[in-house]
Structure 1
Amino acid sequence: MSQEVLDQRAVAVIEANKYMTLGTVGADGRPWVTPVYFTPDGHADFYWVSSPQAVHSVNVDLNPDVSIAIFDSSVAIGQASAVYLTAQAGVVPDDELEQRAAFYSSRYPELKSFSVDELHAELRLYRARATAHWVLVRGRDPEFGTGIDSRRAVWSEG
């Protein structure tokens, strides 16, 4: 299996899923995970809208280091595909907000469009900028299978 095949698998997982699991850490050191609807911008940036009072938003404000898992939980056991990320997250800056809000809402026709005013009032547009990526390789994979599920780096720089 070439690196290109692994990269393509990761793209397919990101494109096929609407929700990602966002992992954050609170001021007390406790981890917190939450599902959020997301819009990807390639494999570098991932956007979501949340209340700034949500636990994960408060955690991101305190510590921008996050982890993310994207997967389809409806597949049969043993058929999973997943992408894992580490990232730096935060509120989208005001000078990018209008453009990024329009981009966020463009993924699906039924997705609500948010005005800049809404994203300054009760909600915020957040972005996670990926720092590393991995894709799930199932234990029975014909080329990389080891009998145990593992993860392999994708989109590596070197």
Structure 2
Amino acid sequence: MDAQDLGARCAEILNICLYANIATCGDDQPWNTPATAIPDSNLDIYWSSWTEAVHSKNILANPRAFITYYDSTRPRGTNNLRCLYLHCEAAVVQDHDEARAAHELLYPGEKIQLDNFFDSGLRRLYRARPLQAWLNCLSEQQVQPDTIDMRREVSLRDIRAAY
């Protein structure tokens, strides 16, 4: 696969998968959270969460996050080039215009109640901005003694162009 094909494959994964695993770390304790996480056209990924959730607190303390998307219904060993790994920087959405756009991505057609996501609201909208992306290129059954890596880096520019 060439770079454009890899970007298109990543865009396909983002279009198919509504759910992501969002890994964060706080106080040297890793934490992984499944969430509905939807990217915008710039590949900024949005989700909403309770302010007291472990990953929400972790993001306040440490913006580094790692997000994966994959189709968990595929038979074992058939996910080659179908698992997207994203190294990201995450943050609470604080701008009201950005929050409206994120809300529309996450809750299309629902009446917006931004107060629920600011100030004394119990939830927040979060954004993760990808810094690097990879696709898996081997299954564990294909690993050989000379295998160096099971992932291929994919240009964010190529993913955006296809998305």
Deviation at 1:94, TM superposition (A): 2.7
Identity of matched residues, % = 31
2:117 is paired with a residue whose SS is coil
Residues 21, 113 of structure 1: CA spacing in aligned structure 2 closer, same or farther, 3 A cutoff?
A: farther
1:117 is paired with a residue whose SS is helix
- The match for 1:102 is 104
Q: RMSD of the TM alignment (CA)?
A: 2.2
- The match for 1:83 is 84
Residues 43, 76 of structure 1: CA spacing in aligned structure 2 closer, same or farther, 3 A cutoff?
A: farther
1:138 is paired with a residue whose SS is coil
- The match for 1:154 is 154
Deviation at 1:153, TM superposition (A): 1.1
* Cα distance between partner residues in 1 of 2:111 and 2:134: 31
Residues 32, 146 of structure 1: CA spacing in aligned structure 2 closer, same or farther, 3 A cutoff?
A: closer
Q: Does 1:4 align with 2:18?
A: no
Structure with the higher fraction of residues in helix conformation: 2
* Cα distance between partner residues in 1 of 2:50 and 2:112: 13
Question: Which residue of the other structure, out of 111, 116, 119, is the alignment partner of 1:118?
Answer: 116
Runs of 4+ with >6 A deviation: none
* Cα distance between partner residues in 1 of 2:111 and 2:14: 21
* Cα distance between partner residues in 2 of 1:41 and 1:82: 19
* Cα distance between partner residues in 2 of 1:104 and 1:13: 17
User: After the TM superposition, which residues 128-147 of structure 1 pair with which residues of structure 2 at under 5 Å, given as runs?
Assistant: 128-139=128-139
1:102·1:113 contact (CA, 8 Å) conserved in 2? no
Give CA deviations for 1:127-146 in whole Å, capped at 9, x if unaligned: 00011111111359xxxx87
- The match for 1:63 is 62
* Cα distance between partner residues in 1 of 2:52 and 2:127: 16
1:101·1:115 contact (CA, 8 Å) conserved in 2? no
Deviation at 1:65, TM superposition (A): 0.5
> Which stretch of the first structure deviates more once superposed, 87-96 or 31-40?
87-96
2:135·2:152 contact (CA, 8 Å) conserved in 1? yes
TM-score normalised to structure 1 length = 0.84
Report how many residues are paired.
148
Q: Choose between structure 1 and 2 for higher RCO, CA contacts under 8 A separated by at least 6 residues.
A: 2
* Cα distance between partner residues in 2 of 1:77 and 1:139: 9
AA partner of residue 53 (structure 1): E
2:38·2:46 contact (CA, 8 Å) conserved in 1? yes
AA partner of residue 114 (structure 2): V
